Structure 1
Amino acid sequence: MSKSTKALAITMAICGATALTPAYAKTLEVQSVYPNNMLYQGESSLRFAEQLEAVTGGDLKVKVFSANELVPSFEVFDAVSSGAIEAGWDWTSYWGSKIPVANLIGAMPFGPQGEVFVGWMYQGGGLELLREAYAPYDVVPVPCHLTAPEPGGWFNVEINEPGDLKGLSMRIGGLGAKVVEKLGVTPLLIPGGEVYLALERGRIDAAEFSHPSLDRQLGLPEVGKYYYFPGWHQPGSWNSLLVNKTTWEGLTDAQRAAIETTCQANVLWSLYAINALQGDILVELEKEGVEVREFPETVMAALKTATDETLAEQAEQDELFKRALDSINAYVASVDVWNAKVLPRK
C-alpha cells in the first residue's frame, strides 16, 4: 500500500469513527414544565439526568431546561410532538384536554395510590395504554415519577357542607377540576409559580398544588387559611419523560433501555422521598398557625358521587378512556382480593 493510499485509509477511518460518535454519545435536551429549583418535581428531573449519565457512563446525558426556558410549560407536549424540542418532563394530566385518557392516568380521583398505581402501570397494561394514546402525536412517554397522595388543598373559606363549595374559584387541574365543577366550583389551571399571587390577590378562593413541603416553598401557608385533607382528587399522579418519536428511534437499544430502567428507579425514589418529611412539616405548619381540617363526610360523599358521574361521562365519550378505566378498576379489584387476605385488619 502506497503512503498516499495508507494516509487516505487512515483519514477515512478517523472520519468514520467521528461520524459514528453521535449515534452512541448523546445529550438529550429536556424541557420541564416545572422550575428546576422546585422541591421534588424539579428535583426529580435533575436527579433522573444525573442517574442516567452515571448508568450509561456518559454515553447518554440529559440537559434539563427549567419551566418556560424553551417553550411555555403548557406547550411542552406540542413542542415535543412537532420535534421543536427533543423531550419534555410533564404532569400527565396537563394534556387531558387533547388526550382524555391522560387525565385518568395523570391522577384518578378516589383512585389507586402508590404501589397499586405502579403495579398497574408496569404489570397491568397501563404503559401500553399510555403509549397507544400518545402514538398519533409522535410522542413516546416514559413514566418517571409518581407523586404520592396530596392534601385536598388550601381554602380561604370553611367547608362544612357541599353547598360551601358552590361559587368558589379554585386552582385545580385534571379530572379533579371536572369533579368540583359539578359542585359549583370554577376550576382554574394556574402554573405553580403563580398560585401564591392568585390566592393573595383574591383571584381564587382555594388552591391545590402538592405536598406540605412544596406548598410551603411556594408560600401558600401565608395566603391560605385552611389546609384541607384528604387529597381525594390525587391519591397518586404520574409525571413522565416525553420523547419525540424520531429522537427516541434515533437512540440505541441500550440507551432506550437505560432511560426506561433509570425512570423506574426514579419512580421508587419519588415514592419514598416525598412521604418521609411531610408529617413533620405538617406539625410545623400547625404550630405556625395553619388550621388543618378534614373534609366532612357529607362533602366527601358529594365528591365521590360527582367523581363517579365524571368518570362515567368521560368513558362514554372516549373509547381509550373507557378501556383504561376498566383496566384500572379490574387491577385494583384483583389486588384488593389479595390484600383483604394478607393485610392485618384494624
Structure 2
Amino acid sequence: MKQCIDHLDLSCSTQSQSFIPMTDKNRRKFIRNSSLALAAAATATLTSCKEKKAQSVEAPYINFNKTFKWKMVTTWPPNFPVLGEGCKLMAKWISTMSGGRMEIEVYGGGELIPSLESFDAVSHGAVEMASGSGYYWAGKIPAAQLFSSIPFGMNSQSMNAWILNGGGLDLWKELYAPFNLIPLPGGNTGSQAGGWYNKEINSIEDYKGLKIRMPGIGGKVINKIGGTSVLVAGSELYTNLERGVIDATEWIGPYHDYKMGFHRVAKNYYFPGWHEPGTVLETTINRSKFESLPADLQKIIVVANDKLNHWMLLEFETQNAIYLEKIKTEGVNIKRFPNEVIYKMKELSKEVLHELVETNEPLSKIYHHFSNFEKKARAWKELSQI
C-alpha cells in the first residue's frame, strides 16, 4: 500500500496484484491531466449554475391557482348573431386554453353600460375589454375610423394584411396608447350592403334631405350630398326606421339585416356597400389590466382574439350567402345603386378624406401609410384576380 502512495498510483488498492512503477515524466503528465480535468469540471458546474439562474429569471413563478375574472362589453345588441356570439366564443376559448384561470363575462350593448360608452369604460378601467368598431369613436379620435373602413377602400383581406402584416397595427396601438388601450382586429364583416331605403334612389338628388343611419366617413359623404347622417345604436334601428325617425339605414349584410327585420319596414335593398367594403371590428383591452396578467394569459388572449378575427369573417361570408336567398323570397327590391350615384359618392369620398387629412395630423400620418399599402394591394389584385 505504501508503495502505491509513494508512486501516486490512485488506481491501486490493497487488493491490487501488481502495479506499474510511475516515472517522473508520467507523474508530471498525470498531475497536469488531473488539473485540467478538475478545471473543466469546475467550469461545467459554474456554467450549469449560470444557466439555471438565467432560466429562473426568464421563467418566473406562475401561480396556477390564481384566477382572473374580467368583463367584456360590446356595442352590439345582447346575444347578437356572429358579433356578440363571436365574443362569447372567444371567452370560451380563453377559459379552455387557460384551464379555467381566465374567465370573461360578455355583456351586450345596454346590459352593463350604453353601447357607445364602451370605449371610455375600458379606457377608465370600469371594464377590461370591449368589442366595437373604430368609426364609433370618430368624434373623439378622428383617425380611429381609418381602422374601421374607408369608402371605396380596401376589402377585408387587404385590411387584415395592412393591419396585421403591413405595419398598421403599430400605428393603431400608438393612436390608442394615450387612452390606456390596446387595440386588436377582432373580426371583419366583409363587404357590407348599401342599405335599406323607404324610397328608390334613382339619382344623387334623391339624397337631398334624406336621413340615414351611416357612421364614419361614409356619413360625412352623405352630409356633403345634402342628406343627414345620424349615429344610432343597433338596438334602436328597427324602431327608428319603422317610425320614420330615419328614412334609410345601412347595417351589415343579408344575414343580420334579415335578423333585424328590416325587410318588413323597407322594401328597397341597395348594393354595393361603397361606404364599407371591408369593415374591421376591434377588440379593445385596458392596457394596465392586460400588463398585470401573467405572460401566458396575455398570449392566450391574443391568440383567442386572432381566432375570433378569422372565424367571424368566415361566418359572415357563409351566412350572408344563405340569407340573401331568404330575402329574395320576401318581396324586397334588390337593386344596385345607379352608376351616377356611385361615381359621385367616390368623388365626394376623396374630398372628405382630403379635408380630414388636412385638419388632423394623426389621421394624415395613418392615411398616408394606409394609402401607400392600398396602391400596392390594388395593383396586385388587378393583376392577379379575375
Q: TM-score, normalised by structure 2?
A: 0.81
CA contact (8 A) 2:156 2:280 kept: no
Structure 1 unaligned regions, length at least 5: 1-18
Q: Deviations over 1:156-191 (max 9, x none)?
A: 111111111111000111111111110111111111
Report deviation, 1:323.
Answer: 1.7
Q: Does residue 232 of structure 2 align to residue 185 of structure 1? A: no
Q: Deviations over 1:215-267 (max 9, x none)?
A: 11111110112000000011111222211121111112221111111111111
CA contact (8 A) 1:176 1:233 kept: yes
- Distance in 1 (CA, whole Å) between partners of 2:90 and 2:128 is 16
Structure 1 letter corresponding to 2:335: R
> What are the equivalent positions in structure 2 for 1:95-244 lying under 5 Å apart?
95-244=137-286
CA contact (8 A) 2:78 2:111 kept: no
Report deviation, 1:21.
Answer: 5.7
Q: Does residue 70 of structure 2 align to residue 43 of structure 1? A: no
Report deviation, 1:277.
Answer: 2.6
CA contact (8 A) 2:122 2:284 kept: yes
- Distance in 2 (CA, whole Å) between partners of 1:137 and 1:114 is 26
Structure 1 letter corresponding to 2:82: Y
Structure 1 letter corresponding to 2:346: K
Q: Does residue 104 of structure 2 align to residue 62 of structure 1? A: yes
- Distance in 1 (CA, whole Å) between partners of 2:148 and 2:377 is 20
Match of 2:93, SS?
helix
Match of 1:187, SS?
strand
Q: Deviations over 1:311-338 (max 9, x none)?
A: 1111111112112211122112222333
- Distance in 2 (CA, whole Å) between partners of 1:240 and 1:25 is 26
The equivalent position to 1:275 in structure 2, one of 296, 309, 317, is 317
> What are the equivalent positions in structure 2 for 1:196-345 lying under 5 Å apart?
196-343=238-385, 345=386
CA contact (8 A) 1:36 1:43 kept: no
Report deviation, 1:92.
Answer: 1.8
Match of 1:37, SS?
coil
Of 56-65 and 221-230, more deviation after overlay is shown by 56-65
Q: How many residues align?
A: 325
Match of 2:269, SS?
strand
- Distance in 2 (CA, whole Å) between partners of 1:114 and 1:305 is 22
- Distance in 2 (CA, whole Å) between partners of 1:141 and 1:106 is 12
Q: Deviations over 1:256-305 (max 9, x none)?
A: 11111111111111121111132332222122100001000000011001
Structure 1 letter corresponding to 2:120: D
Report deviation, 1:111.
Answer: 0.8
Match of 2:326, SS?
helix
Report deviation, 1:20.
Answer: 4.6
- Distance in 2 (CA, whole Å) between partners of 1:341 and 1:195 is 40
Of 320-329 and 199-208, more deviation after overlay is shown by 320-329
Equivalent position of 1:4 in the other structure:
none
CA contact (8 A) 1:36 1:46 kept: no
Percent identity over paired residues:
34
Structure 2 unaligned regions, length at least 5: 1-61
Inter-CA distance 36–290: structure 2 relative to 1 (3 Å threshold): same
Structure 2 letter corresponding to 1:80: V
Of 200-209 and 60-69, more deviation after overlay is shown by 60-69
Q: TM-score, normalised by structure 1?
A: 0.90
- Distance in 1 (CA, whole Å) between partners of 2:137 and 2:198 is 29
Match of 1:38, SS?
coil
CA contact (8 A) 2:215 2:231 kept: yes
- Distance in 1 (CA, whole Å) between partners of 2:366 and 2:189 is 19
Structure 1 letter corresponding to 2:129: A
Q: Deviations over 1:107-140 (max 9, x none)?
A: 1111111211100011111111111111111111
Inter-CA distance 277–89: structure 2 relative to 1 (3 Å threshold): closer
